[in-house]
Structure 1
């Protein structure tokens, strides 16, 4: 079962979460997810985003947040993007800084996922079964987006989600996947897209279900589909990208109430 219910059940205990922050526009729900997460890993440039963004939201108990209210557990990357004053600020507050400047063959997303997977292995009592959610992972330059999607294919079978610019994406492994979309924040638009070896897939729970349908690059892809059920089942013989439109449950500062996006 692959559930995204933690997107609105922020702060609850229904699922464990590892939050990754990358160097692109962060959705307003980021800070609420931050409170819910058991582990927070930030790419070097993502630290700038976090530092500059945290003060734009408020919560009930702290009307005006500041960067010290959201300190990463780990800042990891080649450290070519993080501003020196931001690096020293978080270092002083206890963030573990991991310098991988000698590794120019992997992206910041891959470095953060590797870090998360290592921590999952090292601390199973706290992180066993956790989903990994990367915010700021979609949008902006197309080569970055394609690189992020490619990274998912390197981790077939892992519960990894990418979030950015109104989209959520995960990779469904070969076999049967039962999905429970958070319909308060996801859809109705969705898609099943194949960027790898041609796949044959069937589905239930969609307006236009697949029936042993071949999906392939330069051929048919199931785009602009619609979620019509609280459960979607996909059977596929090859990995497929499952993507939904994402409606942020936290309103922007100028329209949000004081109770939205609580960190307490």
Structure 2
């Protein structure tokens, strides 16, 4: 069965509740979550977030990561590994498939995952390919997805060019709201205007930052230790890095896009070996 949800025994009640709170924090409220799984070390939150998502798409080698890490998430050894992997079957595996291992493809296809080969498209990244897929599926079934938010796991860390490509995609994307997660960080793009950012401080912070990556921005804020007051942020100049959250609600007014980055607290992670 595609997109199979693991039984309640797969994660503890505490982990399930933690995952629900984190999903709400990542989406900025109670929204349907679409998970994209990229080809880098998946965050501790992945197992719990899986059960709070309505659609799961792996980007090429992200399926390898899912296959390799799922047994560890559930604390099982090799004899039971396939049962654990079967609790985390993606709906779609999409990309140029240059990284997807044959045994991983066979495993998920036998359990109903749809594999889409886009090797002919070398002008877009695997993240962009998955975003296109997710956006089309969301648009085709509004009753199911509603105002879904997209969360890309494994999007931060590793090769710097990959991370920069993902941040570039965050700027280019104009569909359902998108957040990037990885290496203990959550990143969203704030568009020009006012953004209200609820912060569950049991899960996120205190370290945070506001970064003008694409173009200079003039911004003001409230809810931070060091607030901005019509402050100009730009590459080669001032950036609001190493800031701290000081309230349950952060408000940012900006005249140009800004990256909002905040650290994640791993309150209910799987074993460190994952």
SS in 1 for 2:127: helix
Aligned length: 248
CA separation of 1:229 and 1:25: change in aligned 2, threshold 3 A? same
| 1:7 paired to 2:22 | yes
SS in 1 for 2:167: helix
Q: Distance in 2 between matches of 1:180 and 1:30?
A: 21
Residue 252 of structure 1 and its aligned partner are, at CA, apart by 3.1
Once the two structures are overlaid, the 10-residue window that deviates more, 16-25 or 243-252, is 243-252
Matched, 1:29 2:45: yes
Deviation at 1:5?
Answer: 7.0
Cα deviation for residue 128 of structure 1 reads 1.3
| Structure with bigger RCO (C-alpha 8 Å, 6+ apart) | 1
CA distance in 2, matches of 1:209, 1:201: 9
Q: Which residue of 2 aligns with 1:49?
A: 65
Of the three residues 160, 163, 168, the one matched with 1:145 is 163
Counterpart CA distance in 2 for 1:187 and 1:232 is 12
Identify the structure with the greater helix proportion: 2
1:14 Cα offset (Å): 3.1
CA distances 1:175-213 after superposition (whole Å, capped 9, x unpaired): 000001221121100000001121110000001100111
Which of 244, 251, 269 lines up with 1:226 in the alignment? 244
Given the alignment of the two structures, is residue 119 of structure 1 paired with residue 137 of structure 2, yes or no?
A: yes
- The answer as to 2:33 corresponding to 1:17 is yes
| Equivalent residue, structure 1, for 2:220 | 202
Counterpart CA distance in 2 for 1:215 and 1:94 is: 48
Structure 2: distance between partners of 1:234 and 1:151: 22
Kept in 2: contact 1:174–1:235 (CA 8 A): yes
Could you give the per-residue CA deviations for residues 30-82 of structure 1, whole angstroms, max 9, x where no partner exists?
Answer: 111111100000011000000011100228xxx97521111100000000001
Distance (Å, rounded) in 1 between the aligned partners of 2:23 and 2:151: 14
1:58 aligns with 2:92: no
Cα deviations by residue, 1:89-137 (Å, 9 ceiling, x for unpaired):
1111110111100011111111111111111101111111111101100
2:86 pairs, out of 68, 73, 97, with: 68
| Other-structure match for 2:54 | 38
Verify: 1:95 aligned to 2:113, yes or no: yes
Q: Which residue of 2 aligns with 1:86?
A: 104
Going from structure 1 to structure 2, the CA distance change for 1:8 and 1:18 (only over 3 Å counts) comes to: closer
Matched residues in 2 for 1:76 and 1:25: separation? 18
TM-score, with structure 1 as normaliser: 0.88
Residue 6 of structure 1, CA deviation: 3.9
